[in-house]
Every structure is written in structure tokens, then in C-alpha cells.
Structure 1
Amino acid sequence: MSLRDVLLRELKRARGLGIDQFQIEEMMGFSKSTVSEALKDLEEKGIIKRRTIGGKIKHVWLAEYYPYYDEKLLRIGCLRSTEYVKFVSVAKNYSESKGIDLIVRFYDDAISLMNDLSQGLLEFALAPIFTEIIYSISNRNSIILGAVASGGSGVYKNVNCNCGKILTSESSSMMILAREFAKTRKISEIAIFKDPRRAIKDYESFKAEYIVIWEPYASKIMGEKMASFSDVLDSFPCCGISVSENNRENRTLIEIVRLYKRSRFTAREDVIDIFAKSTSVSPKTAKASLENYIWDIKFYRSDLKKYLEFIGYPPIEEIIEKIYEEV
């Protein structure tokens, strides 16, 4: 294995912790000059970032996991859902116009996503608004700047199963949808899943009667649609746009959010392809699923207050002030 490959492997393992440059020299058994030359090449290509710590020690990270803000780098974290296609398309257009490198990282759960945001490993987190609110209240180190979209999900019934079990993702808007739907049906069990693809297999294998699922998976799932997101949660957003507390007044990030809110619906073909690959569906299915979202959605402090009341959390003005910023 080449020095370059070893470097990238170890830096990927280290994630936001990074590695001291002298440790790389000692750990890998290469000369100081050889390591320095390899790091310089990777840095010039934008693959790694280096920073001097304490005035002497150089620390190294993969650019993807650099725990500091870099004006030439924009990292967006999101779940495996086509709800984020428009935002990423807007961000990609902006990044290309400004000469900024854009990285999109996909997550299987919203908590890991929000943790990376709070650690400075992302500029944007696109996650269920429920998760963003609870996380912001609990940790006080992330700020919600707006909503992504509404709709795009629903409750489906396997007509060949009557076990009363419903599958939903954890700490998410889908869980709220499952809770509200369960009030109208005889539900024996609410089961949590992390991987939607595995959950769909369980549902289609008659291990659950209902599943709460989002796009693009909803576009290809078998069964009868019992309720849509909008039927149960009205005009509340499904997902939100968050930044870390340190980036609350970051002009670049605020400008991107404002562009997103002002722009008409746009979906770049290359972005659709990225999301199709991440969700294991065809580009055609991913593109078709975009029609099931409500993109022109407003979300102000007053709406956040209503949402807090809806989920059963006291709508205290001081809390709203700390977790939400209108831009």
C-alpha cells in the first residue's frame, strides 16, 4: 500500500480528531521529507487540511472532517432522502459560482448527523425538524435557519398482514407521524428502524402491518397508502436546515439559505443522480419522487411555537430565541 493510501486510510479513521504530522512520520515509518512531500501534494489538491496547533505542532485532517470553518469548503450532511435535492442543487450552483468545494455526506441516522454538525465537521445539517429542535434544545450548539420542505412521506399498509405493528425511524418527523396515526388505529407495537431499505424488506415480508416511509422509497413501496404527511401534520415541515452555533452569523451560509428560500424549484440532474445512488433507486424514480413534496414552505418563529405545542414541548420564548434564527 502506498504512503498516500495509508495516509488517507488513517485520516479517515481519525475523522474530526485528525493526526499530528509527527505521529504520521513515526507511525508509518517514512522519512520526514517523504511524508512532508506527500502531505503537501494532498493539501494542494484540497484532499487534506493542515493547521498549526500551539504554535509548533502541525495537525492533519481529511478536508471532509476538518473541524474548522474554511471559506473554500462547504460540507452538507443529510439523510438518504430526495427531500434535500433542491437545497443541494442551490448550494452546488452557489459553490461553483464562488469557487467553493462542495461535499455531500449521507447519514443513516439524524443524531450522528447532528453530532457531526456540533463538532464542526459540517456547515449544514439537513435533518428532521423534530430531531433538530430536540437536539438544539438539549445541546444549545446548533441553530435552525429554516425549513426544507413538507410532505413527501406517508403511512403504508401491507394488506396481507394484520399484526398491528408499525415501523418508523427514530427521533424523527416520521415518529411523530407514526404516533399520530397510531391514535386512529389499533397498533400493537411501534418498532424503530435505522436502515429504511432493511425496514422495507421486513414490511414486505409481512413482519409489520404498517410502515412510515419517505421519498424516494415511498414511490416504489407496495401496499395501500393510509395517510400522507400533510394529512396528519398539516403544513408543518418534515425537515429543517441547521448550522452550528459558531456559524450563526456566517454570511456565506445565510446567503445560501436565503437563496434557497427565494428560489423556485430547481433540481440539477447531477444532484438527482447523487441522491439516486445514495438511496439505491433509479434516477427516474428519484426524479419522480420530487413531485410529492411541498417546496414553497414558510417556517417562522410563530410556526416553531405551534410545532413545539404540537409535539408537547412548552413553547418558551427564550428557548425559541436560542434555537431559531430567521434569515
Structure 2
Amino acid sequence: MAGMAPELSQRILDLLSSNPSGIPQSHIHRALGVSKAYVSIILKDMERRGVIYRDKVGNSYIVKLATKPSQIGRKLKLGIVWSSEYLFLGHFAKALRNVLGLDLAITVYPSALQATSAIIRGEIDAVLSPLVTQLYAYISTKSIVIVGGGAGGGAMIYEFPRSRSNILISSEASSMDLCRVAALKKGAIEQEDVRYFATPSEAIETIRRGKARYAVLWHPLTEYVKSIDHSKVVECGEFEELKYCCTLATSGNMDIETVKRISIVYRDSIEEFLKQPLRYLDWYSSITGIDTTLLKKALNVYTYTPEIDARSVWRVIETLNLNVPQKSSVIKAILSHF
């Protein structure tokens, strides 16, 4: 049967070429006189290689031919927030090159707002930034599509008892900010005066100077405060609203076919990373400037979910108490609703 795979793949390509608008997957095995199970195996392989893609309509799939990405040339410009959580990016870069013929160009930003603003301005094609930041971007511009999951956990609220201040510091409109709101709702912290830091170094300097009573920090910043007298208040990962820290969003100007293919490669790359988590740590260290020893520690604090699900997005929307615009319109930011 293995020898039949190339022949069957070509027959499927010929069939799809004659039907550019797509064919229900359930029709293909009947049209070609091949078992349904075997066709399913071949289609999954073709989709993984970026040859075809499948649109889910109700309980069935419409299979269509994929075309080469056209609007982003030979390079995918990706923005990320300075963090130790995107350790799968080496696998993503390799798969983009092998499957889609795209080189990955990464720009590191010091904050969620700066990274997400860059995709709105058209400086980058995709961004790994907090889900909550992306939702606000979608509400204000409708210019992004949230296409994949990512890491969760890795963040903590700390108290610094020797501080001369009652201020809580956090990054703005980010997962840290969402953790602050969730902690307030659950009674883990009391309302404090909030100050937002623009860069990781500003956060650490504020803490060292005794100007923050509380801080919401992500890894590896959590490693940098260990030498400062502190107590842990709550792990952000304990809140169901924080299933995702950062998710993948692409530009709304990119054609949807290309977006779907990138989404598939992205999810597969996280799966590969989970099998070989140490493989590209040195490469990631060279991009972010984060020491490899800290990256190895990050493997124990982050969890990974390749796909984005509507229920988790809805929890974030509910936590933010978004009523303008209507909540049901915000959920359209994710790819499954396109």
C-alpha cells in the first residue's frame, strides 16, 4: 500500500485541480475507488506538507488545493515579546522552510503592547504576544487573526515585604495585567495602586529600589528576583483565564489560505518541540539574549497547547467584562470563526 501513496496523492491533486472550489472529503474516496481510511491518511500527509488544506464546515471537511504563499514573499516576519516561553521557535523556523519555503525573521520587543502594535502598523507579518493584547488589537483594528495556541504558566505575583511602597507593577494590557485582574477577583491580592513598566529591565530596577510592593512577572524575570527578599503570592497559571500566556496572530492582510497553512505548520512545530524540547535552545538564546541555563529552567514552568480554543478565549473576554463591542463579535478574532 505504501507504493500506492505517490500515485494516490497525484490522483487527488488531479481531482482537486478540476474542482478549484474544493471537494467534500467524504466524496474523494468514492470518486477514486479507494478506502475512506486510506484517503484520510494521505490527506493528512498532504496537509502537513502544505499541498492541500481543509476547511471545516459543520461536521465535514472541504478539501482544497493550496497555492504558494504570495503576499509575504519568501520571509515571514515574526515579532515576539522578550521571554523564555517560545522555545518551539526553532522547530517552527525549520518547518516553515521545509514545508512552505519561508525563512523566519524574528524581532524581539520588550513589551506586549510594542510587539502587538508592530503587526497593526504592518511592520511584521505575525506576532507571538498575549492573547488579551491581541483581543484588544482585534477590537480596535480588526487587523489580525488569532491562529494558534502557545505557552501557559510561567508567571507569578510576588510580594516584596521590605518595599517602601504599596504599588503593584505589571506590564500593560498583557497576560500579567490579566493575572492581576483575576487575582483581585479571587481575593488573592487587594486593590493596589498600579504602575506599568515598559521594559523588563525597568521592572527589575523598580523592585531593587524598593518602589514596588507587588509585581506580576513572567519567566525569566522570575529568576532575576530570587536574590531579593520576597514571597510568592500566587501563580498566574492557577487561574483558568490564563490557559494561554501568548498566542500566535497573523496580519489580517494576509490571504486566508496562507494563514491556514502557517497555522498548521505552527501547531505541528509545537508538537515536535514537545518531543525534542532541548534541540534549539542555543539558537533561541542567541536571538533573545537569555542564557541557556535559564531556558532549561523554563521547560519546567511553561506548558504548551498547540491549538487555540474558543472556550478559553471566551473566559478571557468574560474576565475583562467586555461589553462594547458585543462579546460575540470579539470571538471572531480566532481563525476557526473565519
Matches within 5 A, 1:241-256: 241-247=248-254, 248-250=256-258, 251-256=260-265
Alignment correspondent of 1:239: 246
Task: Quote the offset at 1:162 in angstroms.
Answer: 5.6
CA distance in 1, matches of 2:329, 2:290: 43
Identity, in percent, stands at 20
Task: Quote the offset at 1:291 in angstroms.
Answer: 1.4
| 1:203 and 2:207 matched | yes
| 1:300 and 2:309 matched | yes
| 1:312 and 2:317 matched | no
What amino acid is the match of 1:292? Answer: V
Deviations 1:204-253 (A, max 9, x none): 22111111110112133222221111123455211111001122331441
Alignment correspondent of 1:82: 84
CA shift in 2, pair 1:196/1:82, >3 Å? same
Task: Quote the offset at 1:120 in angstroms.
Answer: 3.5
Q: Give yes or no for contact 2:149–2:306 (8 Å, CA) kept in 1.
A: yes
Partner secondary structure for residue 84 of structure 1:
coil
| 1:95 and 2:96 matched | yes
Partner secondary structure for residue 304 of structure 1:
helix
| 1:291 and 2:300 matched | yes
Q: Give yes or no for contact 1:174–1:212 (8 Å, CA) kept in 2.
A: yes
CA shift in 2, pair 1:273/1:317, >3 Å? same
Normalised TM-score (structure 2) = 0.68
CA distance in 2, matches of 1:253, 1:324: 14
Structure 2 segments unaligned to the other structure (5+ residues) = 1-69
CA shift in 2, pair 1:163/1:186, >3 Å? farther
Matches within 5 A, 1:251-270: 251-260=260-269, 262-263=271-272, 265=274, 266-267=276-277, 269-270=279-280
Alignment correspondent of 2:221: 217
CA distance in 2, matches of 1:151, 1:301: 19
Task: Quote the offset at 1:123 in angstroms.
Answer: 2.5
What amino acid is the match of 1:283? Answer: T
What amino acid is the match of 1:241? Answer: L
* Residue from 108, 118, 121 that aligns with 2:120: 118
CA distance in 1, matches of 2:288, 2:157: 19
Partner secondary structure for residue 129 of structure 2:
strand
CA shift in 2, pair 1:231/1:246, >3 Å? same
Deviations 1:51-106 (A, max 9, x none): xxxxxxxxxxxxxxxxx8334212211000111121x1221121342553221101
Normalised TM-score (structure 1) = 0.70
Alignment correspondent of 1:326: 336
CA distance in 2, matches of 1:302, 1:186: 28
> CA RMSD, aligned part only?
2.5
Q: Give the length in aligned residue pairs.
A: 257
Alignment correspondent of 1:150: 152
CA shift in 2, pair 1:275/1:215, >3 Å? farther
Task: Quote the offset at 1:146 in angstroms.
Answer: 2.3
CA shift in 2, pair 1:279/1:207, >3 Å? farther
